[in-house]
Structure 1
Amino acid sequence: MKRRSTLLATMLLLLPVPALAHPHIFIDAKFAVVGASDGSISELRNIWRFDEVFSSSVLLDFDKNEDLTLDPSELKAERRSAIPWRNSLAQYNYYTNVTSNGKTVAMAKPETVQASYQDGALTLTFSLKPLQKTVLKGTTIFGIYDPTLYTAGDFAADTDLAVSGDEFARCKRKVVRPKPDEIIAQNQATLTSLFFNDPMGTNFSQLVATRLEVQC
């Protein structure tokens, strides 16, 4: 029987479950950091393409005419249901993590969340803006990771972590892809039973996350 749950129930799967220390949802991620003319961060444009299993669950929820795709009216209903997801992920900074010289940069809620469904995959597109003006000065680090390890984001190519704007001409940038084996070897003391029962008590996901480092 076709499930009648709403996207709210489906999106709640994105919320971390501390007792489970391995990913259950997978995202092919891309983002572009847009610089403003005054040298500050204008916005971060995110594109998240979800794995087929999660995408299929959304299709079951919203494919009312059962044509195995999501037409414009179904996508419109999906976007409306994404609002609770948007609010819930605020406490995790939307998995979009930015630090400026070691200090966390908080992000405002996205004004809109655009949804599309193509080739069996759900894709969400949204932009984030810093709550406070953040100037590109010193070291700024950008990355996407879930601190609970419930959701895994992956960047297939270094170009998937992009910058846009003339202000970046004065900056150096590099993509860092930590090697998990090396990270584990360097952090053996923290990989105890507590880690597997409560991943929030560690920063393991941050240590292994791919990131973009910008020096200005």
Structure 2
Amino acid sequence: MKPAPLLLAGAAWLLPAAAFAHPHIFAEARLEVVAGEDGTVSEMRNVWRFDEMFSSSVVLDFDKNGNLQLDPDELAEVGQTVLESLEEFSYYTTVSEDGKDVKVTKPSAINVDFKDGQLLMFFSLKPAQAMPLKGKLTFGVYDPTMYASMDFPTDESMVVIGDKFASCKHQVVRPDPDEVLAQNEGTLTDAFWNDPTGTDMSKLFATRLEVTC
């Protein structure tokens, strides 16, 4: 079995397909979208706090000296592992500009901490291209393989930061699963249930931040 954080990369082949009908990793997330003085999106700050079960499994995998905790060098190794394994998934972060996808750059580092029995990750992403504050901008964080559930507990968990957002409107959108299923009934196939890595339908269910300028 690969180290636990590699499961974050959607290593669906490690377990039977039937096991992937629901998430196995749970995290509370926070997203801060920051505007620069030049009137563009300068960065997207992410904070993830993982459930105690998954956090414990990470300790078991990375506690090399057996002291039942993660020392600074071990935390750094966790961060480096996730930094490499989540690159192909854009670090679960999706960004669009007037409906067109915007790529994000690789963060310089993923900082990791362990407090009160839970693993925390902090990192910042930047749009790969200039993203002016105009039109409709959408930001979301979700796992396309559905192995990890990224939950934003309150609307205050997705925020905009910076004076340049003053002329923009923003709202947190939480899609109703029943409505999503009803609206997309014609496109749902067995592949969605049995091979979630082959579809992108989970995007329709994900909480997102919509900004209109």
Say if 1:25 and 1:151, in contact at 8 Å, map to a contact too.
yes
Does residue 27 of the first structure (1) align with residue 27 of the second (2)? yes
Question: Any idea what SS the aligned residue of 1:159 has?
Answer: helix
SS of the residue corresponding to residue 3 of structure 2 reads helix
Deviations 1:181-207 (A, max 9, x none): 111122222333221122234332111
177, 188, 193: which is aligned to 1:191? 188
**Residue type at the aligned position of 1:35:** A
CA 1:24–1:178: 2 relative to 1, 3 Å: same
Match of 1:114 in 2: 111
Offset, 1:213: 0.2
Once the two structures are TM-superposed, the CA of residue 88 in structure 1 deviates from its matched residue by 2.2
1:57 to partner: Cα distance: 0.6
Partner of 2:98 in structure 1? 101
SS at match of 2:30: strand
- Code of the residue aligned with 2:147 in structure 1: it is Y
Classify 1:192/1:43 alpha carbon distance in 2 versus 1 (closer, same or farther; 3 Å): same
- Residue 65 of structure 1: how far off its partner (Å): 6.0
Alignment match, 1:40: 40
- Number of aligned residues: 207
Name the stretch that deviates more: 96-105 or 18-27.
18-27
Give the superposition deviation at 1:118.
1.0
**Separation in structure 1 between the aligned mates of residue 154 and residue 205 of structure 2, nearest angstrom:** 16
Does residue 178 of structure 1 match 2:175? yes
CA contact (8 A) 2:169 2:211 kept: yes
Q: Structure 1 CA distance, aligned partners of 2:129 and 2:160?
A: 20
Residues 46-195 of structure 1 correspond to what in structure 2 (within 5 A)? Answer: 46-63=46-63, 68-70=68-70, 74-195=71-192
The residue that corresponds to 2:8 in the other structure is: 14
Q: Is the 8 A contact 1:190 1:202 kept in 2?
A: no
Corresponding residue for residue 205 of structure 2: 208
- Matched residue SS, 1:153: strand
- Alpha-carbon RMSD: 1.9
> Which letter maps to 2:36?
A
Return the offset for 1:62.
Answer: 3.6
Gaps of 5+ in 1: none
Q: Normalising by structure 1, what TM-score? A: 0.88
Distance, in Å, in 1 between the alignment partners of 2:76 and 2:178 is 39
Q: Which amino acid aligns with 2:156?
A: T
Q: Kindly tell me: are residues 55 and 36 of structure 1, through their superposed partners in 2, closer, same or farther at Cα, counting changes over 3 Å?
A: same
Measured in 1, the distance between the counterparts of 2:78 and 2:33 equals 27
Q: 1:198 to 1:64 in 2, by over 3 A?
A: closer
Q: 3-state SS of the aligned residue for 1:116? A: strand
> CA 1:133/1:184 → structure 2, altered by over 3 Å: closer, same or farther?
same
The letter of the residue matching 1:206 is K
Aligned residue identity for 2:41 = I
